[in-house]
Amino acid sequence: MAAIITDQFRIINANNFMKDVTSGDNSYYAFLGLANPTVSGFGRTDTWNSTTIQPPSPVDSINYNNHVYDTMLFGRKVFPGDVRRLIRKVSWTKGTSYDMYRHDYSTTNRSLVSNSSRLYSANYYVMNKDFRVYVCINNGSAGITTIASASLDEPGFTDLEPSAAGVSGDGYLWKYMFTVPPADIVKFDSTEYVAVPNDWETTIDADVKVVRDNGDSTVNNNQIKVVSIDNPGRGYNFLSSPIEVDILGDGSGGKVRILTNTNGEIIQAQVTQGGQGYSYGRVDLSSINTNVSTNGRFAKLSPIIPPTLGHGFNAYKELGTDKVLIYTRFDASSYDFVPDTIFGQVGLVRNPQAVGASGTTFLQTSEFSALKSIKFTGDTSQALGIGTVIEQNITGVGTARGYVASYDIDTQVIKYFQDRTLSFNQSLYDQTDSNDVANQTPVLEFTSTANAITSTAFSVNVDTTFSGISTVTPAGRTVDLGVQFTNGIADAEINKRSGDLIYLDNRPSITRNERQKEDIKIVLEF
């Protein structure tokens, strides 16, 4: 069966995602993970950070996702102000030709400039140097020539009706849509995309509202803006002065001023009344085509049908916003974002639960730590590298193991995680039997006992006297640790595998320092 997924379906999905993210009923978090990507096995190889080999692609499986939760480090909540719909960035450049907005691009009617078979792939809008976005209503192709002219005048106006940008006579008409606010430029601008304002349909923002209201054809009764002369024809009655004819179709009220030359070619088709309610139309040339059938060829005049209810009424449909950008900044302002770690994964999780929560009680805090922590006491001059395995003998039970994600000498805190590479067959990293299976497989928690935390050339004790969320360093500085300790031990702040993992990106590992900031921009295309 012949079938397609339409562009409008993609736009609807992007809109629905925006509503889901910005709803107070849900919690979305961007997170960083995988502090030791060079440990081989389960998606990690020794060539992860190779200059010639990229990190392995994530695997869309429940098993792989479960492992991601095990190696998750920390996350930050995505707020409504952190999300925007996107369009491709098409920057205005003098001397460049652009497509015009047309409702009828297809495989048999491609755009003149970009040869696109669909509207949203065509370059029919631009952003100027001042971050103002305009839709091209006419690119100068109307007339005897069917080749789009070069744009010579940069649009800069904020007039509500389509206008020429200058006096060059390049034939371009531009419709002003919106100006990207400075705050959105800082957070969302990139070399590839432009952020579109949120809540276009309902916002009371003056800049958006005036464009939206002006575009509403149920109010202004002015819909069709352009009639394209796709073929000027030949042999029509010579008109020394223009005449006005009707636009026929399923709408009403549309009129066009027609002018022909001495060869009977149509050289002007100027809309004088846009009318209303058109989804298709034909220009009535019956009054001047008396001789065409025998002495010439019929013209093709195409009324360009604007978006439903007019240009500017719904920017998402008009511009094709099927992409969404999520912005998150990780920096030293977060107590859960440890400065000395490494990360090799970036992801997005929906509705994780706080530790101990159940049902539909989702995490609502501005950030979370997915790491477990140990407050220790002992020789603080000892080094402990990221990815190092630490151990604690649990009397009568076995050995607890974990990977170091952060080691802070000043606060005397080790943050760690436990994943399957600690307990599976250390050669094959799968369920193959081995002689040490009884000792390696159980995952045991570190405890508040007198038993030491050890690694190679490293040994400290759990500070069983410490409980709380902040500590004082030897230098007298009070530090918020981000998590609640009880007798020297702190749990992670989310339930493992809670929520929905909806995005994952494996990256070459990034080593941080305390003055570093990470601006994470996740682009989702629907």
- Which CATH number covers residue 31? 2.60.340.10
pLDDT of the residue at 54: 82
Q: Residue 262 is which amino acid?
A: T
pLDDT at res. 1 = 65
- For residue 352, pLDDT beyond 70: yes
Domain that holds residue 392: 372-490
65 shares a domain with 180: no
User: How far is Cα 208 from Cα 308, in angstroms, rounded to an integer?
Assistant: 17
Q: Which residue has the higher pLDDT, 335 or 318?
A: 318
Same domain? For 510 and 456 the reply is no
Answer yes or no: is 249 within a domain.
yes
| 332 Cβ neighbours under 8 A, 6+ residues apart | 339, 514, 515, 517
Residues 6+ apart with CB under 8 A from 81: none
Tell me the Ramachandran region of residue 425: left when phi exceeds 0, alpha when psi lies from -120 to 50, beta otherwise. Answer: beta
Contact 401, 447 (CB under 8 A): no
Lowest-confidence region among 5-19, 179-193, 322-336, 423-437: 423-437
Based on the fold, state whether residues 292 and 317 are members of the same structural domain: no
Return the HEC string of 467-489.
CEEEEECCCCCEEEEEEEEECCE
State mean pLDDT over 338-364.
87
pLDDT per position as a tens digit, 72-85: 999 999 999 999 99
Q: Which amino acid is at 162?
A: P
Identify the CA nearest to 404 among candidates 381, 380, 422.
Answer: 422
Residue 12 lies in a domain: no
The answer to whether position 399 is within a domain reads yes
pLDDT of residue 11: 96
Q: Is residue 486 part of a domain?
A: yes
pLDDT band at residue 146 under the 50/70/90 scheme: low
Specify the CATH number for the domain of residue 160: 2.170.290
Selection from 499, 504, 505 nearest residue 20 by Cα: 499
pTM of the model: 0.88
The sheet carrying 266-273 orders its strands as 266-273, 255-260, 243-249, 281-283
With the C-alpha atoms ordered 399, 400, 406, 411, is the resulting torsion angle positive or negative? negative
- Do 290 and 320 belong to one domain? no
**Whole-number pLDDT of residue 53:** 76
Give mean pLDDT, residues 38-42.
76
Distance, CA of 127 to CA of 149 (rounded, Å): 18
Determine the Cα–Cα distance for residues 32 and 347; give it in Å rounded to an integer.
Answer: 6
182-186, 270-274, 453-457: which range is least confident on average? 453-457
pLDDT score at 143: 47
Residue 283 or residue 514, greater confidence: 283
Both 157 and 281 in one domain: the answer is no
What percentage of the chain carries pLDDT values higher than 70?
97
Q: Residue 466: pLDDT above 60?
A: yes
- Give the Cα separation of 350 and 30 in Å (integer): 9
**Exposed, middle or buried, 337 (CB in 10 Å: 0-12/13-18/19+)?**
buried
User: Quick one: pLDDT at residue 261?
Assistant: 95
Residue 450: the pLDDT is: 80
Same domain, residue pair 193 and 46: no
CA nearest 347: which of 218, 216, 524? 524
Q: What is the mean pLDDT of residues 124-132?
A: 98
Sequence-separated (6 or more) residues with CB below 8 Å from residue 203: 197, 209
87-101, pLDDT tens digit by residue?
999 999 999 999 999
Same domain flag for 156 and 247: no
Return the pLDDT at 363: 87
Which pLDDT score, from 0 to 100, does residue 426 have?
Answer: 67
Give the Cα separation of 300 and 424 in Å (integer). Answer: 72
- Same domain membership, residue 190 and residue 278: no
Count: domains in the chain: 4
Residue pair 196/224 in contact by the 8 Å Cβ criterion: no
Q: Which two tokens stand for residue 151?
A: 């744009």
Same domain? 295 vs 313: no
Among candidate residues 242, 381, 212, 165, the one with its CA nearest the CA of residue 310: 212
Domain shared by 175 and 247, yes or no: no
Does a structural domain hold residue 154? yes
Range with the lowest mean pLDDT among 26-30, 46-50, 110-114?
46-50
The pLDDT, as a whole number, for residue 142 is: 57
The reply to whether 366 falls in a domain is no
Same domain, 197 and 102: yes
Residue 481 lies in a domain: yes
